[in-house]
Structure 1
Amino acid sequence: MADRYLDDLAVGESWEGAPFTITEAEIIAFAQQFDPQPMHIDAAAAAEGRFGGLIASGWHVASRVMREYVDAAYFGATPMLGLSIDDLRWLRPVRPGDTLTARREILAVTPSQSRPDRGTVKTKTWVRNQDGDLVMTFENLMQLPKDASARL
């Protein structure tokens, strides 16, 4: 993808990322390091729990969505700075073998009042599983340079 800057973006622009599959091995590996709760690391205990089986940590799902975003490089090599994640919702459990797809839409493009070389872009992300069920949503605010001449 070509480099894209604040001046290149429009409210309503949207794109869908490449699907990716969550494996049992990665669910357990992520959870052992970052979220070691029984429903994420122990299949037998998870089967007896409220979800009826192993599920991915929400933080794991969020990190995989971020990885897909970086790999897709929708803004090319344009330097971006994440400023916030708002209204993060985990709506359904993600299970081993689920294939997820993230769709993003630009909600706002706002030039900076105090620094004319940059501005912010607000996006909304919807993540669905292979059945079309919504599993996660969030809004993201990022800072981008106004155009190719800006040096952030």
Structure 2
Amino acid sequence: MKFSEFKVGQRYETAAITLSKEDIMRFAEMYDPQYMHLDEEKAKKGRFGGLIASGMQTLNVSFRLWIDVGIYGEHIIAGTGMNQLQFLKPVYPGDELHVIAEVIELRPRRAGNGTVTVLLSTYNQKGQNVFRAELSALVDN
């Protein structure tokens, strides 16, 4: 979509994705090698009662689901920021995640371009909000 086509309050829902234990461990091995993501026995004794996904993985999956909706299409120029990142609940193996994105701010810029800010809210299969963040992108007109 072009910048001029966005309206504050527009909402979009993504497809869902299920994270397997293997997905969680593969990501953690590469990017976040902490026990709560890799060591099942130690994780069982920890605060969350088992393996959980890295917050960074939850962020990446949420972003991917949003981009896959295709709203920006060819009109996106670049991401400009992420604010208010919140990891609200742990994500466990087998959790199915989907995202609701809401346009919360539009800032016109020169030449008709503008910054679109969306609030990404990620939910699991129980309807629990597990992640939330504001993402901004420069979008062409």
Q: Do the structures match in fold with TM over 0.5?
A: yes
Residue 107 of structure 2 corresponds to which residue in structure 1?
110
Residue 29, structure 1, aligned to residue 16, structure 2: no
Q: Deviations over 1:128-152 (max 9, x none)?
A: 100001100011111001x2xxxxx
Residue 98 (structure 1) shift: 0.2
What is the aligned-residue RMSD (CA, Å)? 1.0
Gaps of 5+ in 1: 148-152
Q: Distance in 2 between matches of 1:23 and 1:37?
A: 17
Gaps of 5+ in 2: none
1:41 counterpart letter in structure 2: L
Q: Is contact 2:38–2:51 with CA below 8 Å preserved after alignment?
A: yes
Higher Rg: 1
Q: Among residues 125, 130, 135, which one is paired with 2:130 in the alignment?
A: 135
Q: Deviations over 1:106-146 (max 9, x none)?
A: 0111111xx2241101111111100001100011111001x
Q: Deviations over 1:35-58 (max 9, x none)?
A: 000000111110011111000000
Residue 150 of structure 1 corresponds to which residue in structure 2?
none
For these two proteins, the number of residue pairs brought into alignment is 141
Residue 60 (structure 1) shift: 0.5
Q: Distance in 2 between matches of 1:100 and 1:80?
A: 27
Q: Among residues 17, 22, 28, which one is paired with 1:20 in the alignment?
A: 17
1:16 counterpart letter in structure 2: E
Residue 58 of structure 1 corresponds to which residue in structure 2?
55
Q: Deviations over 1:16-49 (max 9, x none)?
A: 0001111100100000111000000111110011
SS in 1 for 2:73: coil
TM-score of the pair, normalised by structure 1: 0.89
TM-score of the pair, normalised by structure 2: 0.96
Please show how residues 32-111 of structure 1 align to structure 2 within 5 Å: 32-111=29-108
1:76 counterpart letter in structure 2: G
Query: Identical aligned pairs, as a percentage?
Result: 34
Q: Distance in 1 between matches of 2:92 and 2:103?
A: 29
Residue 13 (structure 1) shift: 0.5
